[in-house]
Structure 1
Amino acid sequence: MSADELARSVRPWPAATTRGWSYSVRTVEGREVAAHRADEVRSTASVGKLLLLLALARAVDEGTLSADEPVTVDAVPPVADSGLLQHLRVPVLSVGDLAVLIAAVSDNLATNLLLAVVGADRVDAERARLGLHRTRLLDRVRDVRGPADPPRLSEGTAAELSALLAGLARDEPSRAVASTVRGWLALGADLSMVGSGLGLDPLAHVEGEGGVQLLSKTGRDVDVRADVGLLGADGRWFAYAALATGPAVSADGGVTAMRDLRDLGLGLRDALLRGAPARRGAPTGT
């Protein structure tokens, strides 16, 4: 299958013809094979937590932080919505435990705790090292955003995010960091978007199922549906980033956006199984 044929196999989606959609699909060598408005900056909601995980993985690899370092759960104010930690009675967790909660269930309280330990400056420095110019974690998670607060948790472009995931598949920025982050992303339980049609068990898909494996991070807000990751089948892999924002989401409560994200996953799976030009033997979850 040629790159042009692959591009036709994953687009157009009905919603992707509107201004509210951006997507980018790459081989894990980094070649972009399908894209739509991929350089537009959009709100990415919890996808930005990936930058925090990358900064932590580097700090642990370099020995400036320990994954076993204990963190007191009440060290930051409580925060609601996604996550399990707010419902648990455990008073202390390790830094590594916080990362698992963030990757698996996009835990908001764990995010704010880990951000307090790692530091926003270290996250931003990691962003710069990775060559991300318009993809940023802007703030901690807040129940309410006031006029003096950053307007959103994170933002980015589909092009930068798909390139970031392709780099992780190539063991960038280093084998240790990439392996750690891929292991976390393999735990992601939110398969409601790109993964929704793949027949995977949301709670146990680390080793893949039915010839398909997914490592991903999603983000969701009132007017945001975002999903970035690595999708593999038959030993082949693609890196993808798909961002739907604004009217593309809010007009019908996200129904169309979620349907089209599902179609992206199915299209990529079918392209991979038909032998599209993706590298074989790309990474498993670890």
Structure 2
Amino acid sequence: MPLAANVTSADQVRTVLADTFARAGVDGFVHARDLDTGAEFGHGGDDRVVLASLFKIPIALEYARQAAAGQLDPAGRHMVSAAYRAGGAGTDGCLYDVEMSARDLAFMMMTISDNAATDLLLDVVGAGRVRTTLDRLGFGGFGVSSCRALDDDIRCELGLAPGSSIDDQLAGITDERLMALGVNDPARSPSSTPREVTALLAAIWRDEAGPAEACAEVRSIMRQQVWQHRLVAGFPESGTRIAGKTGTDFAVRNEAGVVEHPDGKRYAVGVFLRTSSPAGRQPLADRAIGKAARAVIDHLRS
């Protein structure tokens, strides 16, 4: 899916992006950076965007930093109890308590976006420690929350029963009310800018976000993400490695990660979409993420 050879100027790339987003029926925001030269390209790169599950990246980083410093045992056992489970992927949808190591909580959080694993790991490492690390690294605008707090906000806004699965209670809720939820609004939900997100990824890939051992562990886990329908869709070539983290919530479709080409060139990229519908299945939007990432990275490579 290479960009046409004559599409090399920034204006031409923005035209490609605008067309891609229009065809998908979304508003799109993009930022990419060459991890070796520092070259950048942005399209709405400094606009605030909802992170959705991308806020799990700094939680994984804090886990890895504490493990590398000997402050946390990665093999230590922790119970994913009913207090954490709300229905969803991985342990979040289990019917019974699950015991898991701290490392595997991080693995489940990042590879399949397990919300229960996220909230338990956040309790283990400490939300305050995550915030302190982000601030000290210069990412003060990068928002973080527990999944439970976001779910509670949704229940409150929609008048849903507490302690029950949100998905099981959405029948009869209009699209207009779902689109107006705070989780879709960067002013009321964990948010950042596309540029800040790629800067955090760059710090992890350059071993600047903590000990080299910690950064390597985050990179390794992110390379094992299972979702293959967003960033990966733009880079089908054999030998190209992608490490990523998706984020999804009603009107939000995101993915940010690092694309590593066989020639050794590496690019951090984030694509953030606001859709026109809260539908759970939006394949045009998903594919637009891969197309947009490919366009901006091909531009940097040109």
TM-score (norm 1): 0.79
Q: Work out which of the residue numbers 222, 225, 228 in structure 1 matches 2:256.
A: 228
In 2, are the aligned partners of 1:29 and 1:166 still within 8 Å (CA)?
A: no
Count of aligned pairs between the two proteins: 261
Secondary structure of 1:59's aligned partner: helix
- Map residues 48-197 of structure 1 onto 2, 5 A cutoff: 48-74=55-81, 76-84=83-91, 86-87=93-94, 91-141=98-148, 142-145=150-153, 146-147=155-156, 151-152=182-183, 154-174=190-210, 175-197=212-234
Q: Which moved more, 1:136-145 or 1:173-182?
A: 136-145
Deviation at 1:189, TM superposition (A): 0.7
In structure 1, the partner of 2:174 is: none
Deviation at 1:139, TM superposition (A): 3.0
What CA distance in whole angstroms lies between the structure 2 residues aligned with 1:121 and 1:83?
Answer: 26
The 1:223–1:70 alpha-carbon spacing in structure 2 relative to 1, beyond 3 Å, is: same
In 2, are the aligned partners of 1:83 and 1:107 still within 8 Å (CA)?
A: yes
Q: Work out which of the residue numbers 233, 241, 250 in structure 1 matches 2:270.
A: 241
1:215 aligns with 2:222: no
The 1:246–1:270 alpha-carbon spacing in structure 2 relative to 1, beyond 3 Å, is: closer
Q: Cα RMSD over matched residues?
A: 3.1
Give the number of the structure with larger relative contact order, counting CA–CA contacts within 8 Å between residues 6 or more apart.
2
What CA distance in whole angstroms lies between the structure 2 residues aligned with 1:88 and 1:233?
Answer: 41
Deviation at 1:77, TM superposition (A): 3.2
Secondary structure of 1:136's aligned partner: coil
1:264 aligns with 2:292: yes
In structure 2, the partner of 1:205 is: none
What CA distance in whole angstroms lies between the structure 2 residues aligned with 1:261 and 1:105?
Answer: 18
In 1, are the aligned partners of 2:267 and 2:297 still within 8 Å (CA)?
A: no
Structure 1 segments, 4+ long, off by >6 Å, are none
Deviation at 1:252, TM superposition (A): 11
> Could you report, residue by residue, the CA deviation over 1:190-249 in whole angstroms, capped at 9, with x for unpaired residues?
1211112433xxxxxxxxx712100111101111011111001122111111111254x6
Is the helix fraction higher in 1 or 2? 2
Q: Gaps spanning 5+ residues in structure 2: where? A: 1-6, 158-180, 184-188
The 1:23–1:103 alpha-carbon spacing in structure 2 relative to 1, beyond 3 Å, is: same
